[in-house]
Structure 1
Amino acid sequence: MYRKIVVAVEIGALANGEATFRKAASLLDSNGEIILLNVVEDVPTYLGVDIPVDLVENAARDAEDKLQRLIVATGIPARIEISHGRPASGIIASAEANKADLIILSSHMPDFSNYFIGATADRVVRHAKCSVLVDRRKG
C-alpha cells in the first residue's frame, strides 16, 4: 500500500483518468493521500500572438472544475493540484514536492513514434524518483 499517490489526469481523456483514480484508491494506505494532478501546457511563444490571453487560465479553471466533479462522482477523497508546463516535468515535480511514493498515469496505445509507452509516460518512468504505474488504456 502507498502513503501518497500522484494521479496524473489528462482532462481530454477523463474516462481514463477516472479508471486510474479508482485504481489509485485501491492501492492507497488507510491514512494515505491522493493528489489528482493536471498539467496545463503553456502556449508556445510563437503561437502567443494568435491565442486568446486567457486560454491557459480558462484551461486551468476547467481542469480544476472537472477534477472536482470527478471527486464528487467517485466519492474518493483527493487533493487537486493544477500545474503549468510540460506534462512529464510537471508530474515529476509534483511527485517530488509532495514526497509521493507512487505516480499513476494512464497511457494510450502508442504509435510508432513512441512504441513501447506514450511519450509522457516514457519520460515519467525514466526520470521519476518513486515508483510509477502506467495504466494502459485503449483509445
Structure 2
Amino acid sequence: MYRKIIVAVALGGIEKGEKILRKAASLLDAGGEIIALNVIEDIPTYVAVELPANMVEDAMQDSRDQLETLVATTGIAATVEIRNGPPAKAIISTAESHGADLIIVASHVPDFSNYFIGATADRVVRHAKCSVLVDRQKI
C-alpha cells in the first residue's frame, strides 16, 4: 500500500512504538522503506545553561540506541533517524525530506487542552502533505 512510511516513536512509550512499527510493516509495499523516527525536543536556553554541555548529544545517542533496540526486537527492517526540535515540525520535515507517503503517529487519550487527538498528532494531521495514520493509545 505504501512505499515509504515514517513511524514517529516517543520513547516514553516504547511499547506503543512497537505496536505502530508492526502496523507500518503490515502496510508497507514490497521493496518499501520504514523510517523509525524519534524527536528530541529543544531545551529552552534559560534551562540549557544549567545543564551539562553534552546533554543533547547524549540524549540523541540514547534515543538512537533505544530505537535501534526496538527495531532489532521486532525484526522489522527499518532505518533509524533521530532529529531535534519541535516534534510535529520535525516529523513533517522528515516525511517531506524522504518523500514519505504515510506518517504513523501514536496519540494518547487527550485531556481538554487537546481534546480530539494529542497535540503533536493534531499538528501532524493538520500540516502533513501525505497521509497520516493516528493510532489511538489508551493511557
CA RMSD in angstroms comes to 0.7
1:49 shift after superposition: 1.6
1:10 shift after superposition: 0.4
2-structure distance, mates of 1:25, 1:7? 10
Residues 53-92 of structure 1 aligned to structure 2 (within 5 Å): 53-92=53-92
CA distance in 1, matches of 2:34, 2:47: 35
- Number of equivalences: 139
Distance 2:7 2:28 in 1: 11
Letter in 2 for 1:59: A
Aligned to 2:96: 96
Give identity over the alignment, percent: 63
Q: Following superposition, which runs of at least 4 residues in structure 1 exceed 2 angstroms of deviation?
A: none
Aligned ranges 1:1-139 → 2 under 5 Å: 1-139=1-139
Per-residue Cα deviation, 1:49-107 (whole angstroms, up to 9, x for no partner)? 22222221111111110111111111100001111100000000000000000000000
- Structure 1's unaligned 5+ residue stretches are none
Distance 2:49 2:59 in 1: 18
1:12 Cα offset (Å): 0.8
Separation in 2, partners of 1:82, 1:124: 17
Unmatched tracts of structure 2, length 5 or more: none
Instruction: With the length of structure 1 as denominator, give the TM-score of the two structures.
Output: 0.98
Query: 1:43 Cα deviation (Å)?
Result: 0.8
Paired with 1:27 and 1:71, the residues of 2 have a C-alpha distance of: 16
